[in-house]
Amino acid sequence: MPSSIHPRSYDSIAPRKLAFLGLGVMGYPMAGHLARAGHAVTVYNRTAAKAQAWCEEFADAPSKPRHAATPGEAVAGASLVFCCVGNDDDLRSVTLGEQGAFAGMAPGAVFVDHTTASAEVARELHAQARAQGLQFVDAPVSGGQAGAQNGQLTVMCGGDPAAFDAALPVVMAYARACTLLGPAGSGQLAKMVNQICIAGILQGLAEAIAFGQNAELDMQQVLDVISKGAAQSWQLENRGKTMVEGKFDFGFAVDWMRKDLGLVLQEARRNGSRLPLTALVDQFYGDVQKMGGNRWDTSSLIQRLR
Which sequence positions are flagged as catalytic? 191
Buried-exposed string 215-226: b where 16+ CB fall within 10 A, e elsewhere: eeeebeebbeeb
Q: How far is CA 8 from CA 84, 190, 202, 220, 238, in A?
A: 21, 27, 29, 31, 21
The alpha helices in 1-150, defined as continuous H runs, are: 27-36, 48-57, 71-74, 88-95, 101-104, 119-131, 144-150
Q: Nearest 5°: CA angle at 76, between 105 and 167?
A: 60
Q: Which residues pair with 44 in a beta bridge?
A: 21
Q: Give the separation between CA 126 and CA 139, rounded to whole angstroms.
A: 12
Cα 230 to chain center, whole Å?
A: 28
Q: Tell me the residue length of the chain.
A: 306
Q: Radius of gyration over alpha carbons of the chain, in Å?
A: 20
Q: Nearest 5°: CA angle at 29, between 26 and 33?
A: 130
The alpha helices in 215-253, defined as continuous H runs, are: 219-226, 234-245
Q: Which residues pair with 248 in a beta bridge?
A: none
Q: Are 160 and 42 spatial neighbours (Cβ–Cβ below 8 Å)?
A: no
Q: Are 20 and 34 spatial neighbours (Cβ–Cβ below 8 Å)?
A: yes
H/E stretch holding 66: strand 66-67
